[in-house]
Amino acid sequence: MLKERCDKLMAALEAEGVDGAIITSGTNIRYFSNFTSDESVLVISKDRRVLLTDFRYTIQARELSAPAFEVVETSRAIAADEIAQVIKEMGVSRCAFEDGYLTVRAFNNYKDLPVELVPMTPVIDGVRLVKNGYEIECLKKAQAIADEAFAELITKIHAGQTEKEVANELDHLLRMHGADENSFDTIVGSGPNGALCHATPGARKLKEGDLVVIDFGCKYKGYCSDMTRTVAIGEPCDELKKIYGIVLKAQLKALEALKPNMSAKELDGVARGVITDEGYGECFGHSLGHGFGLDIHEAPYASTRSNDALVPGCTITVEPGIYVEGLGGVRIEDDCVLTEDGFINLASTTKEMIII
Protein backbone atom coordinates (compact mmCIF):
# COMPACT_ATOMS: atom_id res chain seq x y z
CA MET A 1 0.00 0.00 0.00
CA LEU A 2 2.79 2.46 0.86
CA LYS A 3 4.60 1.91 -2.44
CA GLU A 4 1.36 2.44 -4.34
CA ARG A 5 0.81 5.74 -2.52
CA CYS A 6 4.32 6.89 -3.37
CA ASP A 7 3.88 5.81 -6.99
CA LYS A 8 0.65 7.81 -7.16
CA LEU A 9 2.47 10.83 -5.76
CA MET A 10 5.29 10.54 -8.28
CA ALA A 11 2.86 10.17 -11.18
CA ALA A 12 1.16 13.42 -10.11
CA LEU A 13 4.50 15.20 -9.69
CA GLU A 14 5.98 13.94 -12.96
CA ALA A 15 2.95 15.36 -14.75
CA GLU A 16 4.13 18.74 -13.40
CA GLY A 17 7.73 18.17 -14.50
CA VAL A 18 9.00 17.27 -11.02
CA ASP A 19 11.13 14.18 -10.33
CA GLY A 20 11.22 14.05 -6.52
CA ALA A 21 9.62 15.19 -3.28
CA ILE A 22 10.73 16.20 0.20
CA ILE A 23 7.98 15.41 2.72
CA THR A 24 8.18 17.16 6.09
CA SER A 25 4.62 17.44 7.45
CA GLY A 26 3.68 14.87 10.07
CA THR A 27 0.42 13.93 8.35
CA ASN A 28 2.01 13.23 4.98
CA ILE A 29 4.96 11.43 6.56
CA ARG A 30 2.44 9.08 8.16
CA TYR A 31 0.41 8.70 4.97
CA PHE A 32 3.31 7.82 2.70
CA SER A 33 5.54 5.87 5.12
CA ASN A 34 3.31 4.76 8.02
CA PHE A 35 5.87 6.33 10.37
CA THR A 36 4.09 8.22 13.14
CA SER A 37 6.74 10.74 14.23
CA ASP A 38 7.21 14.05 12.46
CA GLU A 39 10.85 14.14 13.58
CA SER A 40 11.83 12.81 10.20
CA VAL A 41 12.03 13.67 6.52
CA LEU A 42 10.99 11.61 3.53
CA VAL A 43 12.74 11.91 0.19
CA ILE A 44 10.84 10.20 -2.61
CA SER A 45 11.68 9.68 -6.27
CA LYS A 46 10.35 7.32 -8.92
CA ASP A 47 12.82 4.56 -8.06
CA ARG A 48 13.76 5.15 -4.43
CA ARG A 49 12.11 6.07 -1.13
CA VAL A 50 14.19 7.15 1.88
CA LEU A 51 13.10 7.93 5.44
CA LEU A 52 15.62 10.02 7.39
CA THR A 53 15.41 10.04 11.18
CA ASP A 54 17.71 9.88 14.19
CA PHE A 55 18.76 7.04 16.48
CA ARG A 56 15.74 7.42 18.77
CA TYR A 57 13.36 6.29 16.03
CA THR A 58 15.30 4.10 13.59
CA ILE A 59 13.96 0.77 14.88
CA GLN A 60 10.38 2.03 14.87
CA ALA A 61 10.86 3.59 11.45
CA ARG A 62 12.15 0.35 9.92
CA GLU A 63 9.30 -1.67 11.42
CA LEU A 64 6.58 0.70 10.26
CA SER A 65 7.84 1.70 6.82
CA ALA A 66 9.31 -1.56 5.51
CA PRO A 67 9.59 -2.68 2.79
CA ALA A 68 8.57 0.50 0.97
CA PHE A 69 11.23 2.73 2.55
CA GLU A 70 14.88 2.43 3.44
CA VAL A 71 15.78 4.15 6.70
CA VAL A 72 18.83 6.41 6.93
CA GLU A 73 20.02 7.37 10.41
CA THR A 74 20.82 11.07 10.78
CA SER A 75 21.73 13.58 13.44
CA ARG A 76 18.89 14.57 15.71
CA ALA A 77 18.19 17.82 13.86
CA ILE A 78 18.41 16.20 10.38
CA ALA A 79 20.88 18.63 8.85
CA ALA A 80 20.39 19.94 5.33
CA ASP A 81 23.64 18.35 4.19
CA GLU A 82 22.28 14.93 5.21
CA ILE A 83 19.24 15.50 3.02
CA ALA A 84 21.49 16.83 0.26
CA GLN A 85 23.52 13.64 0.26
CA VAL A 86 20.42 11.51 -0.26
CA ILE A 87 19.16 13.80 -3.01
CA LYS A 88 22.48 13.58 -4.84
CA GLU A 89 22.45 9.80 -4.64
CA MET A 90 18.89 9.71 -5.97
CA GLY A 91 19.69 12.00 -8.90
CA VAL A 92 16.72 14.32 -8.27
CA SER A 93 16.88 17.68 -10.04
CA ARG A 94 13.45 19.29 -9.46
CA CYS A 95 12.03 18.52 -6.02
CA ALA A 96 8.54 19.25 -4.70
CA PHE A 97 8.20 20.51 -1.15
CA GLU A 98 5.29 21.34 1.16
CA ASP A 99 5.29 25.13 1.18
CA GLY A 100 2.03 25.05 3.14
CA TYR A 101 3.75 23.48 6.15
CA LEU A 102 7.45 24.34 6.01
CA THR A 103 8.57 27.12 8.36
CA VAL A 104 10.66 30.02 7.07
CA ARG A 105 13.57 28.80 9.20
CA ALA A 106 13.38 25.30 7.73
CA PHE A 107 13.04 26.66 4.20
CA ASN A 108 16.12 28.82 4.68
CA ASN A 109 18.02 25.68 5.67
CA TYR A 110 16.85 23.95 2.50
CA LYS A 111 17.60 26.75 0.02
CA ASP A 112 21.11 25.46 -0.64
CA LEU A 113 20.03 21.90 -1.39
CA PRO A 114 21.37 20.73 -4.78
CA VAL A 115 17.94 20.79 -6.42
CA GLU A 116 15.36 23.22 -7.71
CA LEU A 117 12.69 23.39 -4.98
CA VAL A 118 9.14 23.55 -6.34
CA PRO A 119 6.23 24.46 -3.99
CA MET A 120 3.53 21.83 -4.49
CA THR A 121 1.47 21.41 -1.33
CA PRO A 122 -1.89 21.03 -3.16
CA VAL A 123 -0.51 18.27 -5.41
CA ILE A 124 1.08 16.38 -2.51
CA ASP A 125 -2.00 16.71 -0.29
CA GLY A 126 -4.22 15.82 -3.24
CA VAL A 127 -2.94 12.26 -3.23
CA ARG A 128 -4.86 11.80 0.03
CA LEU A 129 -8.17 13.06 -1.39
CA VAL A 130 -9.66 9.70 -2.40
CA LYS A 131 -9.82 7.24 0.50
CA ASN A 132 -9.34 3.51 -0.01
CA GLY A 133 -11.26 0.73 1.71
CA TYR A 134 -8.94 0.54 4.70
CA GLU A 135 -9.16 4.28 5.30
CA ILE A 136 -12.95 4.27 5.05
CA GLU A 137 -13.17 1.44 7.60
CA CYS A 138 -10.99 3.46 10.00
CA LEU A 139 -13.20 6.51 9.48
CA LYS A 140 -16.32 4.42 10.12
CA LYS A 141 -14.83 3.14 13.37
CA ALA A 142 -13.82 6.63 14.50
CA GLN A 143 -17.38 7.83 13.89
CA ALA A 144 -18.90 4.77 15.60
CA ILE A 145 -16.82 5.54 18.70
CA ALA A 146 -18.07 9.14 18.63
CA ASP A 147 -21.70 8.00 18.33
CA GLU A 148 -21.32 5.53 21.20
CA ALA A 149 -19.64 8.08 23.46
CA PHE A 150 -22.32 10.67 22.74
CA ALA A 151 -25.11 8.20 23.42
CA GLU A 152 -23.65 7.63 26.87
CA LEU A 153 -22.95 11.32 27.43
CA ILE A 154 -26.59 12.36 27.05
CA THR A 155 -27.52 10.04 29.91
CA LYS A 156 -25.16 12.01 32.16
CA ILE A 157 -25.70 15.65 31.18
CA HIS A 158 -27.80 17.77 33.54
CA ALA A 159 -28.44 21.34 34.56
CA GLY A 160 -25.81 22.63 36.96
CA GLN A 161 -22.85 21.03 35.20
CA THR A 162 -20.24 23.33 33.75
CA GLU A 163 -19.33 23.26 30.07
CA LYS A 164 -15.87 22.09 31.08
CA GLU A 165 -17.30 19.18 33.04
CA VAL A 166 -19.34 18.10 30.03
CA ALA A 167 -16.30 18.31 27.76
CA ASN A 168 -14.14 16.35 30.20
CA GLU A 169 -16.78 13.64 30.52
CA LEU A 170 -17.09 13.34 26.76
CA ASP A 171 -13.33 13.15 26.28
CA HIS A 172 -13.21 10.35 28.87
CA LEU A 173 -16.04 8.46 27.17
CA LEU A 174 -14.34 8.69 23.78
CA ARG A 175 -11.32 6.89 25.18
CA MET A 176 -13.44 4.37 27.06
CA HIS A 177 -15.12 3.45 23.77
CA GLY A 178 -11.82 2.96 21.93
CA ALA A 179 -10.52 6.34 20.72
CA ASP A 180 -6.77 6.81 20.45
CA GLU A 181 -7.12 10.56 21.07
CA ASN A 182 -9.36 13.50 20.24
CA SER A 183 -9.23 14.75 16.68
CA PHE A 184 -9.53 18.32 18.03
CA ASP A 185 -10.35 20.05 21.30
CA THR A 186 -13.97 19.34 22.25
CA ILE A 187 -16.31 22.31 21.85
CA VAL A 188 -19.15 22.85 24.33
CA GLY A 189 -21.10 26.10 24.14
CA SER A 190 -24.21 26.49 26.29
CA GLY A 191 -26.87 29.19 26.24
CA PRO A 192 -25.48 32.41 24.72
CA ASN A 193 -22.06 30.75 24.42
CA GLY A 194 -23.58 28.58 21.70
CA ALA A 195 -23.32 31.62 19.42
CA LEU A 196 -19.54 31.22 19.58
CA CYS A 197 -18.91 28.81 16.71
CA HIS A 198 -15.78 27.39 18.36
CA ALA A 199 -16.61 28.02 22.00
CA THR A 200 -14.00 26.99 24.54
CA PRO A 201 -15.68 25.03 27.36
CA GLY A 202 -15.63 27.15 30.48
CA ALA A 203 -17.14 27.62 33.92
CA ARG A 204 -20.66 28.54 32.75
CA LYS A 205 -23.22 26.13 34.20
CA LEU A 206 -25.90 24.55 32.04
CA LYS A 207 -29.32 26.05 32.75
CA GLU A 208 -32.92 25.11 32.06
CA GLY A 209 -33.88 26.36 28.60
CA ASP A 210 -30.32 26.27 27.22
CA LEU A 211 -29.34 24.83 23.89
CA VAL A 212 -25.89 23.27 24.14
CA VAL A 213 -23.71 22.98 21.02
CA ILE A 214 -21.36 19.98 21.32
CA ASP A 215 -18.78 19.58 18.54
CA PHE A 216 -16.27 16.77 18.97
CA GLY A 217 -14.42 13.91 17.32
CA CYS A 218 -11.79 11.28 17.87
CA LYS A 219 -9.03 9.42 16.08
CA TYR A 220 -8.88 5.72 15.36
CA LYS A 221 -5.61 4.48 13.84
CA GLY A 222 -4.89 8.08 12.92
CA TYR A 223 -8.20 8.74 11.15
CA CYS A 224 -10.59 11.42 12.39
CA SER A 225 -14.28 11.73 13.09
CA ASP A 226 -16.05 15.08 13.47
CA MET A 227 -19.66 15.50 14.56
CA THR A 228 -21.87 18.14 16.14
CA ARG A 229 -25.15 17.79 17.94
CA THR A 230 -27.11 20.49 19.74
CA VAL A 231 -29.10 19.34 22.77
CA ALA A 232 -31.63 21.15 24.95
CA ILE A 233 -31.56 21.35 28.75
CA GLY A 234 -35.27 21.40 29.43
CA GLU A 235 -37.67 23.16 27.09
CA PRO A 236 -36.01 25.92 24.99
CA CYS A 237 -37.77 29.13 23.97
CA ASP A 238 -39.75 29.38 20.74
CA GLU A 239 -37.02 31.22 18.83
CA LEU A 240 -34.42 28.57 19.68
CA LYS A 241 -36.85 25.87 18.60
CA LYS A 242 -37.40 27.73 15.33
CA ILE A 243 -33.67 28.08 14.74
CA TYR A 244 -33.12 24.40 15.44
CA GLY A 245 -35.81 23.48 12.90
CA ILE A 246 -34.24 25.70 10.24
CA VAL A 247 -30.77 24.23 10.74
CA LEU A 248 -32.15 20.70 10.64
CA LYS A 249 -34.05 21.49 7.43
CA ALA A 250 -30.90 22.97 5.87
CA GLN A 251 -28.83 19.95 6.78
CA LEU A 252 -31.40 17.46 5.50
CA LYS A 253 -31.76 19.41 2.23
CA ALA A 254 -27.99 19.38 1.76
CA LEU A 255 -27.81 15.65 2.43
CA GLU A 256 -30.66 15.09 -0.02
CA ALA A 257 -28.72 17.03 -2.67
CA LEU A 258 -25.32 15.46 -1.96
CA LYS A 259 -24.09 13.35 -4.87
CA PRO A 260 -20.78 12.36 -6.45
CA ASN A 261 -19.10 14.83 -8.81
CA MET A 262 -21.22 17.80 -7.77
CA SER A 263 -19.38 20.98 -6.88
CA ALA A 264 -18.70 21.63 -3.22
CA LYS A 265 -19.83 25.23 -3.74
CA GLU A 266 -23.20 23.98 -4.99
CA LEU A 267 -23.65 21.84 -1.87
CA ASP A 268 -22.87 24.83 0.34
CA GLY A 269 -25.44 26.84 -1.59
CA VAL A 270 -28.23 24.34 -0.89
CA ALA A 271 -27.95 24.68 2.89
CA ARG A 272 -27.13 28.38 2.78
CA GLY A 273 -30.19 29.02 0.64
CA VAL A 274 -32.53 27.43 3.19
CA ILE A 275 -31.08 29.49 6.04
CA THR A 276 -31.08 32.71 4.00
CA ASP A 277 -34.68 32.22 2.90
CA GLU A 278 -35.67 31.94 6.56
CA GLY A 279 -34.02 35.29 7.33
CA TYR A 280 -30.92 34.02 9.14
CA GLY A 281 -28.37 34.22 6.34
CA GLU A 282 -26.13 36.63 8.23
CA CYS A 283 -26.08 34.21 11.17
CA PHE A 284 -24.44 31.44 9.13
CA GLY A 285 -20.93 32.79 8.66
CA HIS A 286 -18.82 29.67 8.18
CA SER A 287 -18.56 27.16 5.35
CA LEU A 288 -20.88 24.17 5.14
CA GLY A 289 -18.19 21.54 5.39
CA HIS A 290 -14.74 20.13 4.82
CA GLY A 291 -13.01 16.86 4.10
CA PHE A 292 -11.55 14.78 6.90
CA GLY A 293 -9.09 11.91 7.14
CA LEU A 294 -5.69 11.88 8.80
CA ASP A 295 -6.30 15.62 9.27
CA ILE A 296 -9.52 16.95 10.75
CA HIS A 297 -9.67 19.61 8.05
CA GLU A 298 -8.57 18.68 4.55
CA ALA A 299 -9.81 18.95 0.98
CA PRO A 300 -12.44 19.22 -0.35
CA TYR A 301 -13.99 22.35 1.15
CA ALA A 302 -17.69 23.22 0.74
CA SER A 303 -17.89 27.01 0.86
CA THR A 304 -19.07 29.98 -1.16
CA ARG A 305 -15.58 30.30 -2.69
CA SER A 306 -14.73 26.66 -3.25
CA ASN A 307 -13.66 25.29 -6.62
CA ASP A 308 -13.52 21.71 -5.32
CA ALA A 309 -15.51 18.79 -6.70
CA LEU A 310 -16.97 16.05 -4.51
CA VAL A 311 -15.52 12.99 -6.21
CA PRO A 312 -16.19 9.35 -5.29
CA GLY A 313 -13.99 8.32 -2.38
CA CYS A 314 -13.63 11.80 -0.90
CA THR A 315 -15.08 12.81 2.45
CA ILE A 316 -17.16 15.83 3.42
CA THR A 317 -18.83 17.10 6.58
CA VAL A 318 -22.27 18.68 6.32
CA GLU A 319 -22.61 21.17 9.18
CA PRO A 320 -24.90 24.17 8.74
CA GLY A 321 -25.43 26.45 11.73
CA ILE A 322 -27.17 29.54 12.99
CA TYR A 323 -25.60 31.71 15.69
CA VAL A 324 -27.48 34.59 17.33
CA GLU A 325 -25.42 36.76 19.65
CA GLY A 326 -26.84 36.93 23.17
CA LEU A 327 -29.29 34.08 22.52
CA GLY A 328 -27.44 30.95 21.45
CA GLY A 329 -26.61 28.76 18.50
CA VAL A 330 -27.38 25.54 16.70
CA ARG A 331 -25.12 23.36 14.58
CA ILE A 332 -25.78 19.84 13.27
CA GLU A 333 -22.93 17.95 11.62
CA ASP A 334 -22.54 14.56 9.96
CA ASP A 335 -19.52 12.88 8.35
CA CYS A 336 -20.09 11.61 4.80
CA VAL A 337 -18.07 9.58 2.29
CA LEU A 338 -18.90 9.92 -1.41
CA THR A 339 -19.41 6.71 -3.40
CA GLU A 340 -19.81 6.05 -7.12
CA ASP A 341 -23.58 6.42 -6.92
CA GLY A 342 -24.26 8.34 -3.70
CA PHE A 343 -22.74 8.66 -0.28
CA ILE A 344 -22.41 6.95 3.07
CA ASN A 345 -23.42 8.92 6.15
CA LEU A 346 -21.12 7.63 8.88
CA ALA A 347 -23.09 9.21 11.74
CA SER A 348 -25.95 7.30 13.36
CA THR A 349 -26.99 9.67 16.17
CA THR A 350 -30.42 11.22 15.72
CA LYS A 351 -30.63 14.78 14.49
CA GLU A 352 -34.01 15.45 16.08
CA MET A 353 -33.76 17.73 19.09
CA ILE A 354 -32.79 15.83 22.23
CA ILE A 355 -34.37 17.40 25.33
CA ILE A 356 -32.61 16.47 28.57
- For residues 121 and 98, the answer to whether their CB atoms sit within 8 Å is yes
Q: Tell me, yes or no, whether 6 and 146 share the same domain.
A: no
Q: Are residues 200 and 268 in the same domain?
A: yes
How many CB atoms are located within 10 Å of the residue 59 CB?
10
In angstroms, the CA 167 to CA 81 distance is: 46
Among 86, 107, 126, which residue terminates a domain?
Answer: 126
Distance, CA of 287 to CA of 290 (rounded, Å): 8
Domain of residue 85: give its range. Answer: 2-126
- Claim to verify: residue 120 and residue 162 sit in the same structural domain: no
Regarding whether 120 and 152 lie in a shared domain, the answer is: no
pLDDT of residue 255: 98
Phi, psi of 23 (to 5 degrees): -110, 125
* CATH number of domain containing 35: 3.40.350.10
Residues 294 and 228 in one domain: yes
Q: Give the per-residue pLDDT at 103.
A: 87
Residues 187 and 330 in one domain: yes
Structurally, the chain folds into a number of domains equal to 2
| pLDDT recorded at residue 279 | 98
What's the pLDDT score for residue 46? 93
- pTM confidence score: 0.94
Residues 95 and 46 in one domain: yes
SS3 71: strand
- Quote the CA–CA distance of 299 and 347 in Å, as a whole number: 20
**215 and 92 share one domain:** no
Q: Among 126, 145, 168, identify where a domain stops.
A: 126
Eight-state DSSP code of residue 162? B
Last residue of a domain, one of 126, 161, 192: 126
Q: What is the pLDDT of residue 79?
A: 85
209/120 same-domain check: no
Within the chain, which residues score under 50 in pLDDT? none
My answer on whether 72 and 7 are in the same domain is yes
* pLDDT, tens only, 135-165: 999 999 999 999 999 999 999 999 999 999 9
User: Which helix (DSSP H) or strand (DSSP E) does residue 230 occupy?
Assistant: strand 227-232
DSSP state of 30: H
Q: What pLDDT, in 10s, does the model give residues 240-262?
A: 999 999 999 999 999 999 999 99
Residue 99, pLDDT score: 93
Domain identity same for 191 and 321:
yes
Q: What local confidence, expressed as pLDDT, does residue 274 receive?
A: 98
Specify whether 331 is located in the same domain as 260: yes
CATH of residue 290's domain is 3.90.230.10
